[in-house]
Structure 1
Amino acid sequence: MLNRTLILLLAVGHLLCPVSRAGAAESTRPNILWLTTEDIGPQLGCYGDAYADTPNLDAFAARSLLYLTAWSNAPVCAPARTTIIAGVYPTATGGEHMRSTAPLPAQVRMYPQILREAGYYCTNNSKEDYNLAPNGKVWDESSGKAHYQSRGAGQPFFAVFNHVGTHESQIRTRPHKAVHDPSKAVIPAYHPDTPEVRQDWAQYYDNITTMDGWFGKQLAELAAAGLADDTIVFFYGDHGSGMPRSKRTPLNSGLRVPLLVHVPEKWKHLAPPEYSAGGKTDRPVSFVDLAPTLFSIASIAVPDWIQGKAFAGGKVVEPRQYVFGFRGRMDERTDMVRTARDNRYVYVKNFMPHRPHGQSVGYQLQTPTTRVWKDLFAAGKLTPEQSYFWQAPKASEELYDLQSDPWEVRNLAADPAHQATLERLRTATQDWMLATRDVGLLPEGEIHSRSKGSDPYTYGHSPDFPIAKILAAARLASNGDPSAAKSLAGLLGDSDSAVRYWGAIGLLARGKAATEAHHDALVSAMTKDDSVYVRIVAAEALGKFGNDADLAAALRTLLAAADAPKTGAYATTSALQAIDELGSKAMSIKSELAAIQVIDPTSYPRTREYPTRLMETLSASLGFEYGKPAKQPKKGKK
């Protein structure tokens, strides 16, 4: 009843709005309002979800344009916002990894800076969370109090209001007063049907209903200020659902977001070409397109470094055929995935198939669904569709038909009938990586060490970055072909450390047979390579699949690499993850592990929490207290 009352208030407020509009009517540019929320997919009534209760958003959609194919580019908040703020893929700026920090080149500015130069009053209420260090002041105000009401007379505004109540953390907050009946929740084919899963999904929908009330209040406030006719309004989520296998997983379930755009009559000449009240469009759009769309609406020239495409305003370009997604390091776990989607198919390229989609991310494991799902997998009580998330190795490539398989559980990559589609999307993904100069092909630490003195974007766009050679090595490493092992061993002698890194990953991913066949090359890489990242991967392979002497040497190598003041935060994270992958084989070093320093005081503060999280995991699994040497058994006793 409350939400429907808000709709009525909004309508009345719009009809009774005062003639004076705080100077907005005199502006030659429209106001732009972004109402955003966290961690939701298109689970809204206006998207056809019968379980959802979203009357305000449904009413808004009835007079706006609804996007059916909108992607966040990244399935987690910081890289997704990083995409938006620069209009450049984080895979090109070095900002793809969760809570990392990369400098920007001098010529690249964040979109609010450009809007401000054009006269807009720009406010952000209130999350930033960018993986990029800005060049100068970004917002006029960015805080929990930031508001367009503080602008100057006659000044157009761009304002963001972000709702946090739908965040992943709120799914698991207890106690909780239920609104949706868990017994009626639709459980995806990839999740087990348990009481914990049903409660989490129901609470997720409850939080969306609460957000819908917030959305209605924001529109009512705009109307009461007499600004509705002068303001173009966007609504979107910052990436897919906060439930596991959505958040952090670059499938459609983790990347698809709701996107609604409303353009008042006065500004219809700036509307998307497909615009109609209550209309829907299958034009593929993604977060990288938001910045150029703002510039297009505001009649600002789109800078040549922008990698997105405007889909509204006076500078609209031809529709995309594909949108793209990516995953790098998520919190304390490293992976590399690239994805592409058209209006029907989703393609996934797993560059590290030896890592499961469902790595043990501590923050994600706080959600009851994640814990019970993982426990059922360990007990062998899941269907194949439910098990795949936790399995390693995962497929080198995945292909899903969203028309027949909206849950993305039937991989068609090996189906002869879909080879043309697979090749088309594979080629599109590779072309995108080459065209945008994907520096994510480098180990995270090398993104920064190679670009020292400049920035990752500049390095990536220079001839010093041999992207074609590195991409070829990464594709060979991840193709799953056992016969490629000899060629991969040959890559260990390449002059480029990233090529050697992928050579080592390829042997690690192929397991015991490849490690034994190319034992000496891996030993040489572990002990002599000048790249700590090559040494770490070679050590993990030898520790997992070598003999006792190999294990002892591998553990010494990994301990040395985990010493943060000497090797840095990125190498420490990689080394600790490799030690964790060895499981009980690392028991012999728990005393030394307990005493090492895993915080690099010179590193970006945002990178420091993840080695600590890995140490917490290791201390629990190996039985030591971090910061205190583990007690060693007395001689003659086990």
Structure 2
Amino acid sequence: MFQSTIKDRWTKLFLLIIVCLISHGSIAQERPNIIWITSEDNSKHYMKLYDSDGVETPHIEQLSQTGLVFDHAFSNGPVCSVARSTLITGSYAPRIGAQYHRKMKTVPMPDNLEMFPFYLREAGYYTANNAKEDYNLDKGDKVWDESSNKASYKNRKEGQPFFYVHNFSVTHEGQLHFGPEKMEETPISTLPPSGNLQPNHPQTALFEYTRAYYLDRIAEMDRQVGELIGQLEADGLLENTFVFYFGDHGGVLPGSKGYLYETGLHVPLVIHVPEKYKERVSYKAGTRVQEFVSFVDFGPTVLHLAGVKVPKQMDGEPFLRKKNKSPNDVAYGYADRFDEKYDFVRSVRKGKYKYIRNFHPFNFDGLWNNYRYKQIAYQEWVDLYRSGKLNEDQRQFFEVKPVEMLFDIEKDPYEINNLAEDPAYEKQLLAMRKELGDWLLSMPDLSFYPEFYLIEEAFDDPTAFGQDHRRDIKKYYLTANLATSGFQNVEEQLKRKLEDDDPWVRYWALCVLSSFGEEAKTLEEAVIGLSKSDPVRINRVRASQFLGICGVSDPMMDIEEALYSTTDPHEALLIMNILVQLADGPYGYTTSVEEGKLAASVADDSNIIRRLEYMNGL
């Protein structure tokens, strides 16, 4: 009896000591600190650590000596808000309704899922973000202890483990929004050597200068990274801290940010692994890792390193772990609306091959986007195209895209030589098409509905909407994929689908016809009927678009009338995108939208204003 009492007292005393240690951080500090250092808008192509034409980044390179260099790290989206929405949720943006840049309506987090720093806070971590968020989702107040330009890991309680994000903006696209006078103020002789220009870029002095200036911005970013790492060392924290450095997506020379090419998605990733925690990682320090990792995996990786269970609702998986599993070699990408410019593109990279599916190939890459074209290199590129001074490779950016694109990235790093129609690659093409299709349907991908419809019908709970409409989305995907076959093989199917009771089947049949272009003129009679009588306005517009692409009739007046008749600015923006596509394409049409005829709810929208300024030549 006496011995039992003594034992109970010692047990209570031991538990009390444990509680005290936890409250003072002694045991809490056994959990690693984790820092994300992000630089905006830079792919791996501009750093000598990855590319011989890149600039030296000594501080990031030094970080790699005590850690890992990932040779295949990818943003899933090629623009800030979509990339960051993927990072913070561990979820694919088209599944959760966060795929449009920028949000016209924020969407809620999926049921039973929080942004991943929430789970770190629950586990006792201090979470701080300095300072960019740019999420397309409702954040709530439980994600960050602090998120501002004053946020710091230093504000935590003594001994408390922390997760800290520090964003550097010196490489952001806006740094290249300079005028011609910049070339005199900062001569190219004062900048890092520009290296070789991309073969699909104009080989001009302006493009050379733009690249050199951008390399200079990366060198400055590296200096700032060095200051932050130096502060960690001075604070005695580096030995307890995993440090991730990565670009938040690709960019920012023309044709990178906003596009699913490697220059838009393939980012640098270097991770310092502290000696103290090396047993938590299967890779040895100094390794160049060949495994494919994507932004969707970053949040789960942080949770795993912190000893926190990864929610099953997340799409990603940890890539730093004690034991190797079969290395991943697949990464997916998505591109939808960028401000006022619409597109619908999906990609999959598997090993050395890259497959890109253009669901709206008539939306050529160079379709006007106000923010992109603030860069004078973009302006020069389009001017050279319009004056007929570009070669075949350089013109591709401004011409109708193939429905499918297949590239061997090892041989063709800038994705110029499309192998999709090469019989020698047919087996690879079919495998990649299936790989992408299986992924799209597994989410399922919400973008098979137009954005304005999702805003109205789905965005109160987009994830649930997707699950409830999984069969419908598969139906729309299969309709859209008729574009990958020869027209004669699918003509009868398309004719039936133009008569389908489901408006979105008709929508996709019309988009497929526009993808085929003049080859599909045999169905013009049915399409003319839809252009006049389809009960869904956007279908009448898509029908008119097809008739314009085929040269059957000038579609602009009918599309303009449809624009004037809508009170929904989101639908209006899509209609205006179609007007610009037809006016700037090779069809010879002109448009003049009268602002006074627009509904007030439409005319006041900022994206609409930008489109109007361009269309009216202001």
- Aligned partner of residue 267 in structure 2, secondary structure: coil
1:330 correspondence with 2:338? yes
Deviations 1:593-631 (A, max 9, x none): 444136459xxx9xx4222211111121xxxx8xxxxxx
Cα shift readout 1:431-467 (whole Å, capped 9, x = no counterpart): 1111121111211122233326x41111112256522
Does 2:289 correspond to 1:289? no
Aligned match of 1:133: 138
Corresponding position of 1:456:
462
The equivalent residue for 1:80 is 83
Unaligned runs of 5+ in 1: 1-21, 626-638
Q: 1-side partners of 2:294 and 2:554: how far apart?
A: 50
- What's the CA shift for 1:243? 1.0
Instruction: State the superposition RMSD in angstroms.
Output: 2.5
Please state if 1:413 is matched with 2:420.
yes
1:510 aligns with 2:516: yes
Residue in structure 2 matched with residue 572 of structure 1 by the alignment: 572
Show CA shifts across 1:513-552 (max 9, x none).
53x5333432343343343332321232335546668654
**Is 1:64 the equivalent of 2:72?**
no
Q: 1:182 to 1:27 in 2, by over 3 A?
A: closer
The 3 A distance-change label for structure 1 pair 86 and 184 is closer
2:273 paired residue number: 263
Tell me, in whole angstroms, the C-alpha distance in 1 between the residues paired with 2:253 and 2:208.
11
- CA distance in 1 between counterparts of 2:592 and 2:331 reads 46
TM-score (ref. length: structure 1) = 0.86
| Cross-structure match for 1:205 | 215
Letter in structure 2 aligned against 1:466: D
The answer to whether the aligner puts 1:159 opposite 2:164 as a matched pair is yes
Alignment of 1:184-583 (within 5 A): 184-271=194-281, 273=282, 275-313=283-321, 318-392=326-400, 394-451=401-458, 454-463=460-469, 465-477=471-483, 479=485, 481=487, 484-512=490-518, 514=520, 516-545=521-550, 552-561=557-566, 566=567, 568-583=568-583
**Cα offset for 1:381?**
1.6
Q: In 2, distance between residues paired with 1:156 and 1:68?
A: 29
Unaligned runs of 5+ in 2: 1-23
Q: Deviations over 1:313-359 (max 9, x none)?
A: 46975432311111111221111111111231111111111121221
DSSP-derived class of the 2:421 partner: coil
> 2:126 matched to which residue of 1?
121
Distance 2:95 2:323 in 1: 24
Matches of 1:51 and 1:549 in 2, distance apart? 48
CA contact (8 A) 2:602 2:608 kept: no
| Range with greater deviation from structure 2 (132-141 or 288-297) | 132-141
Query: AA paired with 1:82?
Result: S
Query: Deviation string for 1:157-194 (max 9, x for gaps)?
Result: 00000000101111233536357657652101110110
How far apart in 2 are the matches of 1:531 and 1:190? 40
Moved more, 84-93 or 338-347: 338-347
* SS class of match (1:69): strand
Give the conservation status (yes or no) of the 8 Å contact 1:352–1:505: yes
Question: In the TM superposition, what whole-angstrom CA distance separates every residue of 1:242-298 from its partner, at most 9, and x where no partner exists?
Answer: 111111110112100000111101111222x2x222210110000000111111111
User: 1:537 & 1:37 partners in 2: Cα distance?
Assistant: 40
Q: Within 1, Cα distance between the matches of 2:138 and 2:538? A: 25
Are 2:340 and 2:608, in contact at CA under 8 Å, matched by a contact in 1? yes
Q: Tell me, in whole angstroms, the C-alpha distance in 1 between the residues paired with 2:49 and 2:499.
A: 56
Maintained 8 Å contact 2:357/2:405: yes
Q: Quote the Cα distance in structure 1 between the aligned partners of 2:480 and 2:152.
A: 47
Amino acid at match of 2:207: V
Q: TM-score, normalised by structure 2?
A: 0.89
Indicate if the aligned counterparts of 1:334 and 1:574 stay in contact, CA closer than 8 A: yes
Say if 2:547 and 2:553, in contact at 8 Å, map to a contact too: no
The answer to whether 1:30 aligns with 2:32 is yes
2: CA distance between counterparts of 1:618 and 1:500?
Answer: 29
Alpha-carbon distance, 1:502 to partner: 0.7
The 3 A distance-change label for structure 1 pair 111 and 380 is same
Specify the code of the residue in structure 2 equivalent to 1:172. H
Distance 1:237 1:285 in 2: 13
Superimposed CA distance per residue, residues 228-250 of structure 1 (whole angstroms, 9 cap, x where no aligned partner): 11111000001112111111110
The verdict on how the C-alpha distance between 1:618 and 1:390 changes in structure 2, with shifts beyond 3 A counting, is: same
CA contact (8 A) 2:494 2:509 kept: yes
SS at match of 1:91: helix
- Residue 615 (1) aligns with residue 612 (2): yes
- Using the alignment, how far apart are the partners of 2:583 and 2:51 within structure 1? 46
Relative to structure 1, is the Cα distance of residues 205 and 179 closer, same or farther in structure 2, using a 3 angstrom cutoff?
A: farther
Shift of 1:128: 0.7
Q: Secondary structure at the match of 1:616?
A: helix
User: Residue 543 of structure 2: SS of its match in structure 1?
Assistant: helix
Task: Supply the distance in 1 between the matched residues of 2:145 and 2:192 (Cα, whole angstroms).
Answer: 44
Q: Taking every aligned residue pair, what percent have the same amino acid on both sides?
A: 34
Shift of 1:142: 0.8
Name the stretch that deviates more: 239-248 or 43-52: 43-52
